[in-house]
Amino acid sequence: MLDILIKNAVLTDGSKIDIGVKNGKIVALDTLLNLNAVQTFVMESGSYISAGWIDDHVHCNPTMDIYYDEPDLIGVHSGVCTVIDAGSCGYSNVDAFFQCVKNAKTNVYALLNISDIGLIRQDELSDLSLIQIDHIKEKFNMYPDFLLGIKARMSQSVVGDNGIQPLVMAKKIQKELGDIPLMVHIGSAPPPLEDIMPLLDHHDMVTHCFNGKANSIIDSDMHIKSCVLCAQKRGVAFDLGHGTASFDFNVARHCLNLGFKCCTISTDIYHRNRVSGPVMSFAVTLSKMLHLGYSLEEIIDKVTRVPAEFFKIQNKGKIEIGYDADFTIFEVKDTQFEAIDSSGNREIIHKLIQPRHVIVGGVMIDMEEIQ
């Protein structure tokens, strides 16, 4: 007997399927399943189902002073099954973070900040003595199923006078740890993108790719910078990373018109930009990308399969037999609301991607409270 039978499931490509779940795994897929189940969930008309959404750039350590939030508030209660905390913690505070989130309903993973102190202050990479490879190796040995990679924030307010050196050190650490994923934050120069991009390869992800700052991926002639295009050809992934100061409608739209799309869509969400904006939620961020012209099918791919494959999260990101029974059930509603980007630009959005239910590890979580 199944634990859950999901009937009349509609995928984003419009195809229909029934899904059988047992012991937290997908065990049956067919256009018409006639199997007994403890619970049968019949999809509502107009709803879609996808593999559980993955937000690959959040800050969800509730004990931090600057960037903090509750994992389940930005996770399952926002339609998101899996979050990756992107460098909130380093060597000195990742133990407490792991203990704090291990019982969350949301799947929580982390990227370890290469600075021992993590984000307890804004300039964590201004002191190179805080980057200790032995400390980083120790934590990866302790938490092999929790730590997915490392994070380096490469903007002037973070690195101080150290320029590109923290990234050089991060790449050395990455290699010594077996070419694990590295997420690189880009922001204000120095260092300029022309110094950052040549160091990156297919193991790396650049976040905040559509920021509206002077050191953005667009040059003064409104072309994608050649160093960015070369990095893209080498397989470097580009992540949205909306955040408080890192997403601009005009930059994202211009890049789309030039044929340059982000690989993954993430929020860089934490308490302040969730409550006061401009991020608000993962669903609002996805709706902004739908508004700009990304298709629903590619949006969902960028928050399921792509991040799962890049960060090597086993058995997540696809609706396939043997994969974890993580699902997001959502609607695309015709509506009208004003959305704001990180530069203060406001646009009227007419379609809202709205989650209704999540299933994590075969456990149904009601999403009716989402507005």
Kindly report the CATH number assigned to the domain that includes residue 132. Answer: 3.20.20.140
Residue numbers belonging to the annotated binding site for Zn(2+): 57, 59, 151, 185, 208, 268
* Residue burial 325-359, b: 16+ Cβ < 10 Å; e: rest: bbbbbbebeeeeeebbbbbeeeeebeebbbbbbbb
pLDDT category of residue 370 using cuts at 50, 70 and 90? very low
Pairing between β-strand 2-10 and β-strand 37-42 as defined by DSSP bridges: parallel
- Residue 66 three-state SS: coil
- CA 281 to chain CA centroid, nearest Å: 12
In a domain, 324, yes or no: no
Give the C-alpha separation, 291 to 288, whole Å: 5
Task: State in Å, rounded, how far the first CA of the chain is from the last one.
Answer: 35
Give the C-alpha separation, 316 to 273, whole Å: 27
Q: What global pTM score does this model have?
A: 0.98
In a domain, 354, yes or no: no
Rounded to the nearest 10 degrees, the angle between the axes of helix 165-176 and helix 133-142 is 40
Model confidence pLDDT, tens digit, residues 197-253: 999 999 999 999 999 999 999 999 999 999 999 999 999 999 999 999 999 999 999
The pLDDT assigned to 366 comes to: 72
Model confidence pLDDT, tens digit, residues 79-106: 999 999 999 999 999 999 999 999 999 9
In a domain, 17, yes or no: no
The answer to whether 272 and 306 are in contact (CB under 8 A) is no
In a domain, 5, yes or no: no
The answer to whether 54 and 313 are in contact (CB under 8 A) is yes
Cα angle: 265, vertex 165, 313; to 5 degrees: 35
Residue numbers belonging to the annotated binding site: 57, 59, 151, 185, 208, 268
In a domain, 166, yes or no: yes
- CA 21 to chain CA centroid, nearest Å: 26
Q: Which domain holds residue 291?
A: 53-311
In a domain, 252, yes or no: yes
In a domain, 335, yes or no: no
In a domain, 234, yes or no: yes
Give the mean model confidence (pLDDT) for residues 251-272: 98
Q: CA neighbours within 13 Å on the CB side: how many for 176?
A: 16
Cis amide leading into 355 (omega within 30): no
Name the domain count of the chain: 1
Give the mean model confidence (pLDDT) for residues 328-335: 97
The answer to whether 284 and 370 are in contact (CB under 8 A) is no
Structure token pair of residue 258: 């030039």
Cis amide leading into 307 (omega within 30): no
Cα angle: 197, vertex 201, 203; to 5 degrees: 130
